[in-house]
Amino acid sequence: MPTTYRSHTIGQIIAGGEDMVGEEVTIAGFAESVRGRGGICFVTLRDGTGKIQAFLKRGSLDDESFETVQNSSRESTMMFRGSVARKRPPKTPEGAPPPPKEYEVTVSAAELLATAQTPLPVGVVDDVNVGLDTRLDNRHLDVRRSHVNAMFILRSKVLQYGREHLIEEGFNEMNSPKIIASASEGGTNLFPMMYFDTPAFLSQSPQLYKQLAVLGGLERVFEIGPAFRAEKHDTYRHLNEFVSFDIEAAWCDDEDVMGVLERMIHSIWKSVSEKDGHLIETINHYRTTQGLEPVKVEIPEVPFPRISYDEAIDIVKSGGGQIEWGDDIESHHCDLIAEKYPGFHFIPRWPMSMKPFYIHHKEGELGTTGQQLSRGFDLNYGRDEMTSGGQREHRVEVLEQNLLNMDLDPKDFTFYTDGFRYGAPPHAGWGLGVARLLMVLTGAGNVREVVLFPRDRSRVTP
């Protein structure tokens, strides 16, 4: 749609190609480079849809505008009016194939919208590495870099495809409160805050609220929202504020919602590979310049392998890992499992003793050492955990016993347990780390790459 500042996007002009030649257009964007100091001047103009060269000739527009543009700095924003023309082909080395036809805008009027200060704290097209920290301090400029831009567009697509898939499977989007009165799960540390005169916390998970929604008859719900954890971790895969993709569904067990999850991931990968190849290409172009392997979007086969906790312990042991039944499967253990299962794989049936109080168990389902198993599961990709989920405990007396077993006071959870006193459907769900999924898709080595303004142990700005 045309706006006050442009009649066409640059992408439209490029897509129009030959048909656009001679057409009068107004475009606006960032000046990626300004070349030529004599009677002519070339500006590579970039907007959110593409880049095109603007050609300015002294005499074809008023002198003042010409000089303003010619003397302006990279990344300044400007607006040009002119006509679309075929671009003269660049010189190519002998024997090289002729370059594809390109188009430019022959400028008849120009306006500088806002000047960029020099020097830029991080170059948008410069051929130098930039440290992650410098990039994050200047994220507003970093995002102008094409591969970074592509990652965030891809992030939006992933959320869109996931959302579309869940809606198709009958889920309704919900929102849970992020300001809560008490620990929703116990376990991790919460950020304390004051809610007027009442002490409160930032929510670590929508878990209990999703369940209350399902108990309330919403049947199938999902939420895409932030979670906050006051853990002092400092790794490539942890942040203190992160967005999770959460679902909860009535009349389901763990296996049912594992199905939802693998179908959703399959659907996201399929859509990305069908529709967003150009974004992956942009990312790969950059990766190549950095000497990194290009990423491939290989649509994972459904169903994903299921490696039960019992089996996982055996794999780790036979791979030489130090582990006993009942121990958590740590990252270095996951490396051993990932040797056999490098892609997505579920690890179902964890020991009940290791799972939160709200996870369901079936009496008589015992592990190799005779201890009670749960209906909790993880989804891993290689060594990294993407999701944890499970069937939930819907029997209120069992729920209260679980709380006691884990040294929590049922009185603190009446807002939750009361929801189970008036008939509760068996239900199950999971929470998926959006950034972790994107790391897999984009080959990013750090979650901070795929989160616009990450919050970690030492970063609260920008």
Partner RNA sequence: GCCCCGAUGGUGUAGUGGCCUAUCAUGCAGCCCUGUCGAGGCUGCGACCCGGGUUCAAAUCCCGGUCGGGGCGCCA
97-156 residues in contact with RNA (CB under 7 A) are 104, 106, 118-123, 126-134
Rule CB under 7 A: which of 179-208 touch RNA?
A: 187-188, 205
Q: With both helix axes pointing from N to C terminus, report the angle between 254-275 and 146-168 in degrees, rounded to the nearest 10.
A: 130
Q: Which of residues 51-90 bind RNA (CB under 7 A)?
A: 53, 55, 57, 71, 73-74, 85, 87-90
Neighbours of 57 (CB within 10 A): 14
C-alpha distances in Å from residue 378, one per residue of 99, 171, 247, 432: 50, 21, 14, 10
Strand pairing partners for 224? 245
The answer to whether 454 touches 448, Cβ cutoff 8 Å, is: yes
Is the bond leading into 303 cis (omega within 30 degrees of zero)? yes
Shortest CA distance to 389 belongs to which of 206, 199, 235, 124? 206
CA distances from 408 to 199, 356, 398, 412 (A): 19, 11, 14, 8
Closer residue to RNA, CB minimum distance, 240 or 267: 240
Residues 328-367 that bind RNA (CB under 7 A): 328, 330-332
The binder of RNA chosen from 244, 282, 374, 402 (CB under 7 A): 244
- 207, 226 Cβ separation under 8 angstroms: no
**Residue 314: strand, helix, or coil:** helix
Q: Which two tokens stand for residue 364?
A: 């008589």
Least distance CB 373 / RNA (angstroms)? 17
- Binder among 101, 233, 275, 340 for RNA (CB under 7 A): 233
Round to whole Å and give the CA distance between 358 and 353: 12
- Of 38 and 370, the one with the shorter C-beta distance to RNA is 38
Near RNA in 26-55, by CB under 7 A:
33, 35-40, 42, 44, 53, 55
Nearer to RNA, 271 or 388 (CB): 388
Minimum distance of RNA from residue 119's CB (angstroms): 3
Minimum distance from residue 257 beta carbon to RNA (Å): 14
Choose the stretch contacting RNA; rule: CB under 7 A; options: 291-299, 305-313, 415-423, 425-433: 425-433
The least distance separating RNA from the CB of residue 168, rounded to whole angstroms, comes to: 23
| 386: contact with RNA by CB under 7 A | yes
| Peptide bond preceding 348 in cis form (omega within 30 of 0) | no
Nearer CB in complex with RNA: 276/456: 456
Residue with Cβ nearer RNA (33 or 308): 33
CA 30/CA 74 separation, integer angstroms:
8
Closest approach of RNA to the CB of residue 402, in Å: 15
- Shortest CB 172 distance to RNA, Å: 22
Binder among 148, 432, 438, 440 for RNA (CB under 7 A): 432
Question: How many of the chain's residues bind RNA (CB under 7 A)?
Answer: 72
Closer Cβ to RNA, 85 or 398, answer by number:
85
Q: Which is nearer to RNA, 89 or 305 (CB)?
A: 89
CA-CA distance, 130 to 148, in Å (whole number)? 12
Q: Can you read off the two tokens belonging to residue 27?
A: 């475009």
List the x/- string, 203-222, binding to RNA by CB under 7 A.
--x-----------------
Other CB atoms within a 10 A radius of the CB of residue 296 amount to 9
In the complex, minimum distance from the CB of residue 129 to RNA, in angstroms, rounded to a whole number: 4
Q: Smallest gap, in angstroms, from Cβ of residue 91 to RNA?
A: 5
Provide the mask over 250-289, with x wherever binding to RNA is found by CB under 7 A and - wherever it is not: ----------------------------------------
- In angstroms, give the least distance from the CB of 75 to RNA: 8
With respect to RNA, which residue has the nearer C-beta, 154 or 261?
Answer: 261
Strand partners for 104: 53, 85
Instruction: Give the shortest CB-36-to-RNA separation in angstroms.
Output: 4
C-beta of residue 453 within 8 angstroms of C-beta of residue 460: no
- Residue with Cβ nearer RNA (134 or 275): 134
Q: Which is nearer to RNA, 73 or 172 (CB)?
A: 73
Q: What are the residue ranges of helices labelled H in 302-374?
A: 309-318, 331-340
> In terms of CB distance, is 178 or 273 closer to RNA?
178
Q: What is the DSSP letter of 440?
A: H
Q: In the complex, what is the shortest distance from the CB of residue 256 to RNA, in angstroms, rounded to a whole number?
A: 19
374 backbone dihedrals φ, ψ, rounded to 5°: -115, 175
Calculate the CA dihedral of residues 216, 408, 243, 437 and round it to 10 degrees.
-100
Write the CB contacts of 81 (distance below 8 Å, at least 6 apart in sequence): 24, 25, 26, 107, 108, 109, 110
